[in-house]
A and B are shown apart, each in its own frame.
Chain A
């Protein structure tokens, strides 16, 4: 029984970390109508920034905060200086631009951090195990679950209960109407991009003691986040949450029962959803053409 609980908790923590990245992407997709192909690079940026600050100061939490802020500022710069001038162009231009930013960042990582594996240990204060029905479970994973759920609740609150959340929802529903009402939609777009990037950088930073990163390799996060978005419904935050939990749980229990093929699970789920409900589990049906 305890091993099932163990598997459930690892699935939950992985799923919630996927959610942070996928939610960041979903906010950008829904607000700006563009898939940010540089999202994986921003996630790596979060990991690397956290690592450097953690190394320099000895404080993991300072590292996490620095990753969120610096990546957010960079995200702001990208949207203001690069994306804004091409808002009127077809979405393909913006998509290519985000891809270019991603490549640029990858090269910067090599230049700044060198070609190596970056990893760090769990901060001492979180580095212990708790007994779960007889099996020791690392507290850091429980910490990840708590942090992710708090962020999820905050996002829900901001989106549903605050004025800025209302504007975000209005932009997602009808951007032109919001523009007509005198709200600076472009500024709001930048804000959504910053929030999306910061969430991804946060996921990257929190992942530092678990997976670390290889500076020369492309971040595998992008693929999983895309799978989560497609399963849940592109541009749907609720969908990202559900998709992330499905991917996390299926991968976790899949490794237990089909260990040879567990890594195929996200792709299989994605294909399955595309065949049965192409708009995603929480996506709204749109009439093409």
Chain B
């Protein structure tokens, strides 16, 4: 009996330990092998011999996550076709070379080894946060600029900071600032956190409470649940939120867990009393999947591509018309702007005279790019793509036939919610970088 008891205690300790470690292990996968075989000889990357600008695109084209590519490719193809039909960049066409990384950090190194053979001047991607560190290290070693469409946890970002790494994807810190401001403005008193495992959701949570302190608001922490990502029946979580007394949920859920949560929460009456703050949740891919079970009017969400807003409408229609019936969404626009900012930077360089990758990096740092949101650019201190963030409520949109960001109920947070250089440096010092 003693042996059984000991085995039981050890097993339970192991389970809890594994659960606690799951987030940190995901961030650090593949830290040693970045697939580099050539380093110094490619540091002088020049335009390709065939007269085109060859740009590699890393995204999941097969596997569980491949459905995301259905959103990314139409946006990229639309922009690439436009650039080429208008004579290319300084007379040279753009050639996108798609590479399937399956969103899997364990195969990213071999995919990057293939990219080295392709004579590319830049890389767009990856999309999955866990692939970020491998790609960042590869960029630094090979001196090829990479424009990530994922987010990195802040400590992982510092760990892998490089002149050659730019982030067109989301910024956990800016999201946290938006949520904290919204909690203050809406007068919420009690917040429940619902997150995925991983470093970025952890960052959102930490920065959120830090911002709440900075704003001097009294907000109760009503509890938190971290989903592993495989749960589909969330009824227990929903009832636990209902019993927590929270009046606001902040979530980092996206894709299928978010769809399940919205659907089941609405069925169970969760949103009768609680409002939800999240990112992308009122974007086309989520609202279309949830359909008529979407809790219209109860979800405030950061969206990078509010297709129902007047200023974004034409671009949304253009992309939709060129796609196979795929409604545009924010994630697709991340890739779009990664390519557009590369285009803007390349346009300032002289193809015929040649240039090296350091010059391209400098051009990216100093060039602003026009967008439907106004001018967008990468910050010099952390290479984060900056453009105004919107937190919008949701309304039914007759034209698209689905719930979408509500143009009459939104707040534009501008670029004030991105961390300033001083905050960034201070955070780096706090983390020991």
Contact = CB atoms under 8 A, between A and B. Distances in A.
Interface in A84-141: 114-117, 119-122, 127, 129, 135-138, 140-141
Contacts of B15: 264, 267-268, 271
A119 to B, nearest CB: 6
Interface stretch (A5-13, A151-159, A234-242): A5-13
A73 B290 CA distance: 31
Interface string A185-229: 000000000000000000000010111111011001000000000
A256 B239 contact: yes
Nearest to B64: A216
A10 B236 contact: yes
B256 A214 contact: yes
B301 interface: no
A207 B233 CA distance: 9
A7 B255 CA distance: 26
A94 B166 CA distance: 52
B272 interface: yes
A10 B239 contact: yes
Given A252-B236, A255-B237, A261 B16 contact: yes
Given A10-B235, A256-B239, A264-B19, A212 B260 contact: yes
A239 to B, nearest CB: 21
A256 B236 CA distance: 7
Contacts of A267: 15
B224 interface: yes
Contacts of A216: 63-67
Contacts of B290: 119
A259 B246 CA distance: 14
Residue among B19, B63, B263 with the highest chain A CB neighbour number at 10 A: B263
Nearest to A118: B289
Contacts of B256: 117, 212, 214, 217
A115 B263 contact: no
Interface stretch (B5-13, B149-157, B173-181, B212-220): B5-13
Contacts of B210: none
Nearest to A17: B233
A3 interface: yes
Nearest to B245: A3
Contacts of A3: 239, 242-243
Contacts of A17: 233
B226 interface: yes
A259 B269 contact: no
A30 interface: no
A173 interface: no
A14 B242 contact: no
Nearest to B255: A117
A260 interface: yes
B267 interface: yes
A115 B66 contact: yes
Interface in B248-306: 255-256, 259-260, 263-264, 267-269, 272, 289-293
A165 interface: no
A276 interface: yes
A82 B12 CA distance: 41
A255 B259 contact: no
A14 B235 contact: yes
Nearest to B236: A255
Interface residues of B, number: 47
B397 interface: no
A166 B256 CA distance: 44
B230 A259 contact: no
Given A255-B225, A261-B19, A119 B235 contact: no
A59 interface: no
A272 interface: yes
B240 interface: yes
Interface residues of A, number: 51
B243 A7 contact: yes
Given A214-B256, A275-B8, A276-B4, A256 B235 contact: no
B227 interface: yes
A146 B229 CA distance: 30
B235 A263 contact: no
B82 interface: no
Centre residue among B224, B227, B240 by max chain A CB count within 10 A: B240
A268 B12 CA distance: 7
B357 to A, nearest CB: 35
Contact of B269 (A121, A122, A136, A214): A136
B270 to A, nearest CB: 10
B223 interface: yes
A271 to B, nearest CB: 5
Interface in B91-108: none
B11 A119 contact: no
A77 interface: no
Contact of B64 (A209, A217, A251): A217
A259 B243 CA distance: 12
Given A115-B67, A252-B239, A261-B16, A211 B225 contact: no
Given A10-B239, A117-B256, A272 B267 contact: no
Interface in A258-286: 259-264, 267-268, 271-272, 275-276
25 contacts: A6-B239, A10-B236, A13-B235, A115-B67, A119-B263, A119-B290, A119-B293, A120-B291, A121-B263, A121-B291, A121-B292, A127-B267, A138-B269, A211-B260, A212-B260, A212-B263, A216-B66, A256-B240, A260-B226, A262-B225, A262-B237, A263-B228, A264-B16, A268-B15, A276-B8
Interface of A: 3, 6-7, 10-11, 13-14, 17, 114-117, 119-122, 127, 129, 135-138, 140-141, 207, 209-214, 216-217, 220, 251-252, 254-256, 259-264, 267-268, 271-272, 275-276
What are the 8 A-B residue pairs with the smallest beta carbon separation, nearest first? A255-B236, A211-B232, A115-B67, A3-B243, A255-B240, A10-B235, A259-B225, A216-B64
Given A117-B259, A262-B225, 19 more contacts: A3-B239, A7-B236, A119-B263, A119-B289, A129-B269, A136-B269, A138-B267, A138-B269, A209-B263, A210-B235, A210-B263, A210-B264, A212-B263, A216-B64, A217-B64, A251-B236, A255-B240, A256-B239, A275-B11
